[in-house]
Structure 1
Amino acid sequence: MRILLAAIYPYAFLLLYLIIPFDDYFRAPPNILLGILVVAFPFIVKKEDFKKLKSLPIAIFLALFAYLCINSFLSGRWEEDYKIINKVMIAIGLAILYIPVADVKKINTAIIFSSLAAIIFSVYNFVLITDATGSFALGESPQVVESLLIDRLYLGLLSTFSILISFQAIQKKYHPNNNYYLANIFVNAIFIVLIASKIAVVSLFVLLLIRQFYGKRKIWKALIALISLAAVVALFFLLKNENSFQKSENEKISPPAFIEKSMTYELRAVVWHCANTIISNEPFSLTGIGFDATKEKLVSCYDFHITDPHKKQRFVAERYNTHNQFLDFYLSAGFIALLLFLLFIGTSFFPVRKQFFPTAMLAILIMYCLVENVFNRQIGAYYVGFILIVLLTSVKPTENNPIKNI
């Protein structure tokens, strides 16, 4: 029985990461696969497997999870906070469930094929919608927004993962698989540009900049670093001044909801302003006010500060969160939660700083946490879990299939 479970277990893990983007269409399979992993785990895990968890970053992340549970329970808001705490549990749980696998290559392969499947699905939807509407537009057009398998932010994140995994898998000497990895990089990069995933584009430029600190030092590396830095700065100002989808004052009819939701900069500008207002009005907090209470205060801020009635109605109805994981931890669970999360990031960096791949993954986590509450959605928790697995396998490379340093 143990042999059979040990044979099935890695493929259940692989299949889980393969179908994650289709979670909105197939709710049951991911939960079933998680159930299989949880049930099988005690039968196949070995005592020596737990040595992989002996790392300071994992200990701090576990401490963050424990603190969120204890703080929420003692504050009497367990029912309200459970949804978020559950997502944090999924992330750390996936890292723990991974330890009997000891083969990160399988998960990497699943990410690559998952990204390609999501792209094919989205392109197919785009063709159908374009044919039905008789119009063609890319970028932030309604056709693109409606055709995407998942939110553009997470689809961009998945494509960024796929590009990074393919890049680190390319061998310096000729190998037939190199062609496939290069093709995958090209397809995902083009797709990111076509869907106008700004955070994914910025992430790729930042990763290109980080890459210049690895390998042999050459003059052209410094040049690439400068160009990448200039591009990131230019993209920041482009994002800041974006107004292509802003509604004019003379416009009487509000655009469809799916177009309004694509106004990512305007949305975050309003949300961050309200979050900053709440922080300014509240005393310094060690334990926070709770995840639900944070949303309530944000909604009150939208209702008070937004003058445009259509915009106010949308923000209040959607109950937009902070769109910044660092702000959300501070407001909802206090300075202690924020400190633990920052300590996790800091202690994760030092053991892997000489390896490009895990360092790049950590950079991706930071960038996406700056613009998204990654623990507010299950797909975010799954991908944070993947980052934890990468960090885990990099800190303990001798006990896992090693990640190639480049």
Structure 2
Amino acid sequence: MRILLSAIYPYAFLLLYLIIPFDNYIRALPNILLAILVFAFPFIVKKEDFKKLKSLPIAIFLVLFAYLCIDSLISGRLAEDYNIIKKILIAVGLAILYIPVADVKKINSAIIFSALAAIIFSVYNFVLITDATGSFALGDSPQVIESLLVDRLYLGLLSTFSILISFQAIQKKYHPNNNYYLANIFVNALFIILIASKIAVVSLFVLLLIRQFYGQRKIWKAIMAIVAITVLTGLFFIIKNEKVIQFKQAENKQSPPAFIENSMTYELRAVVWECAQDVIKNEGFSLTGIGFDATKDKLVSCYEAQISNPKKKEKFILERYNTHNQFLDFYISAGFIALLLFLAFIVFSFISNRKQFFPTAMLAMLLMYCLVENLFHRQIGAYYVGFILIVLITNAKPKPAENKIKNI
């Protein structure tokens, strides 16, 4: 039986990460696969596998999870906070469940094919919607938003994962698979641009900049770094101009330009971040926080008081928008201790992996996405944080030189 489970186990992991974007369509299957992994784990795990968990960043993340559980239990809000703690458990659990798997290439392949499947599904939907409406529009258009398999932010995250994995797999010397990886990079990068995923575009340029610090120092790398910095600066001024335009339009009581009005990306975060700051100011310094559910209640109260537009107010209250910043969420909900532990996890992860581009790039993505999203408020976010933890575990100890895939 152990042999059979050992053979099935890696493919259960592969299938899980392959179907994650399709969770809304096949909701039961991920849970079934997780149940299979949990059942099989005790039969196939070996004592030496647990050595993979012996790293300071992973230990800190486990302490963070334990603290959140204890804090909620002592404060008497475990039932209210369970929904978020459960998602953090998914990330922690996936990292632990992965330790018996020897071949990391399987899960990397699953991410690549998952991204391609999500792109094909989204493009197909876009074609159907375009045919039905008789109009064509890209970027922030309702057609694009409605056609995407999952939220644009998470689809951009998945495509960025796929680009990173493909880049990491390309070998210096000619290999037939290099063509496939290059094609995959092109497809995912083009898709990110077409759906106008701003955070994914910014992430790619940041990763391009980070890459210049690895490998041989050449003139072209310095040029690429300058280009990346220039583009990031340009994006910053574009976003800044959007803020100015929105402010002026509000003063003049005019409608904002369509490309801003349709996306609501900045507007939503501007409101929730301002309300989050008000909550922090009203609650004062806190070691243990007020709870994840209570944080949303406080934000809703702020929306009721601060938003004057009736339709906007109704939408914000109905949706119960969270802080859209994982750091703010941890501080308000679980206090300074949780924020400190999460920051310690990120800092020590960077220190431990600073000599390796791939895990460093993954951590940079985690940091950037946590600045604009509460990843642990969505199950798909928990799955992808789990993938980042897996990357940290598999890269904790350098592999023998002959087994390494050479980078560009």
Cα deviation for residue 227 of structure 1 reads: 1.5
With over 3 angstroms needed to count, the CA separation of the structure-2 counterparts of 1:282 and 1:147, relative to structure 1, is same
- Determine the structure 1 residue equivalent to 2:106: 106
The Cα shift of 1:384 comes to: 0.2
Alignment map for 1:7-406 (pairs within 5 Å): 7-242=7-242, 249=253, 262-398=263-399, 404=405, 406=407
CA displacement at 1:250 relative to structure 2: 5.4
Q: Whole-Å Cα distance in 1 between the matches of residues 82 and 147 of structure 2? A: 32
In 1, Cα distance between the equivalents of 2:34 and 2:59?
22
**Structure 2 CA distance, aligned partners of 1:293 and 1:124?**
41
Q: CA RMSD in A?
A: 1.9
What is the percent sequence identity of the aligned residues? 78
| 1:276–1:404 CA distance, 2 compared to 1 (3 A) | farther
Deviation at 1:309, TM superposition (A): 1.5
Query: Scaled by the length of structure 1, what TM-score is found?
Result: 0.95
1:348-389 CA distance string (max 9 Å, x none): 111210110100000000000000000000000000000000
Q: SS at 1:395's partner residue?
A: coil
Matched residues in 1 for 2:24 and 2:263: separation?
19
The count of aligned residue pairs is 399
Structure 2 distance, partners of 1:55, 1:337, is 19
Classify the secondary structure of the residue corresponding to 1:371.
Answer: coil
* Displacement after TM superposition at 1:261 (Å): 7.4
Looking at structure 2, the residues matched to 100 and 44 of structure 1 have their Cα atoms a distance apart, in angstroms, of 7
CA drift at 1:262 = 3.0
Cα separation, 2, equivalents of 1:317 and 1:403: 50
Name stretches of at least 5 consecutive residues in structure 2 with no aligned partner.
none
Deviation at 1:196, TM superposition (A): 0.3
The SS at the match of 1:185 is helix
* Distance (whole Å) between structure 1 residues aligned to residue 76 and residue 53 of structure 2: 31
Residues 405/338 of structure 1: CA separation in 2 closer, same or farther (3 Å cut): farther
Counterpart residue type for residue 344 of structure 2:
L
**TM-score using structure 2 length:** 0.94
The 1:285/1:261 distance shift into structure 2, 3 A limit, reads farther
Provide the C-alpha distance between the structure 2 equivalents of 1:335 and 1:372, rounded to a whole number of angstroms. Answer: 19
> 2-side partners of 1:201 and 1:11: how far apart?
32
SS at match of 1:241: helix
Contact 1:21 1:118 in 2 (8 A): yes
* 8 Å contact from structure 1 (residues 394, 403) kept in 2: no
TM-aligned CA distance change 1:46 to 1:261, over 3 Å: farther
**SS at 1:216's partner residue?**
coil
User: How far 1:237 sits from its partner (Å)?
Assistant: 2.3
Structure 2 CA distance, aligned partners of 1:41 and 1:115?
A: 27
